[in-house]
Structure 1
């Protein structure tokens, strides 16, 4: 089974705070994910997003300042309340405001992947014969999210998140 957490950056004034509308918007974006990824306005994590979040929570023990910025990249944002009417698509949705997008971008730009990996890596596959593969996978997620949030923050965008199964 394939399941993804899909991130889409967009100007706040271009979206509606309506579950059915956002679900349609995100589904349209998901259908052209490769093109939007190349354009730098989208990103996604396969079923490993909880593990990516675990990598970021390692920052809690590294003296990272702020109001738990490690929670923002994966699970940051407010849930969009389901109001009915989305007949074809009913994904869980979150919207992250521009201020939190900027905080996530700052966190990702400043935190050391190597330090995160040294704290959380053993829980995520470090130490075994495939450690290099696991490390590379998480490094790719980290670099991709860092670039995505950096571009979104520079543009002053919000980030909409959807889970697709």
Structure 2
């Protein structure tokens, strides 16, 4: 079974606050994922997204000068942050929307938060599910996730766009 967290940049004025519309938009975007990732308007993390959130949560345990964020709670924005839009009967996970301002805050956090410091604080917890893997290989996976998210959020924030997130199971 495969599961992903799909991120899509969208001009805020184009977003409808309607689960059905958002779901259809994200499903159409999923069909174009490789091209949209290449264009910098989409990103996706397969099955590791909760662990990436754990990596960013390490910022809360670090001092302000070490986590780079300057604000508490900014670590929550890149993965699970945003305003939820619920399925009408709550049978599906909510979609999440980050405003352009929240997107800028997430980008600033990802730019400022030093990966190696976060890894030092959270790496042991993140490596646990990969107990029989080489540590360098696991770290490289998360460096790749972090680098990709940082580029996506930076480009999206520069464009002044919002972000829609959809968990795909």
Length-normalised TM-score, structure 2: 0.90
Aligned match of 1:97: 99
In structure 2, C-alpha distance between the alignment counterparts of 1:129 and 1:42, rounded to whole Å: 29
In structure 2, C-alpha distance between the alignment counterparts of 1:4 and 1:12, rounded to whole Å: 23
Secondary structure of the 1:2 match is coil
Residue 143, structure 1, aligned to residue 142, structure 2: no
In structure 2, C-alpha distance between the alignment counterparts of 1:91 and 1:115, rounded to whole Å: 32
Question: Is residue 18–residue 83 contact of structure 1 (8 Å, CA) maintained in 2?
Answer: no
Aligned match of 1:87: none
Following TM superposition, by how much is the alpha carbon of 1:124 offset from its aligned partner in structure 2, in angstroms?
1.3
Alpha-carbon RMSD across the aligned residues, in angstroms, is: 1.6
Secondary structure of the 2:44 match is strand
Q: Please, which moves more after superposition, 102-111 or 121-130?
A: 121-130
Runs of 4 or more consecutive aligned structure 1 residues displaced over 6 Å after TM superposition? none
In structure 1, C-alpha distance between the alignment counterparts of 2:94 and 2:167, rounded to whole Å: 6
| Paired residue total | 160
Q: What are structure 1's unaligned runs of at least 5 residues?
A: 85-89
Aligned match of 1:42: 42
Residues 1:21 and 1:111: Cα distance change in structure 2 (over 3 Å): same
Which residues of 2 match residues 83-94 of structure 1 at below 5 A?
83=88, 92-94=94-96
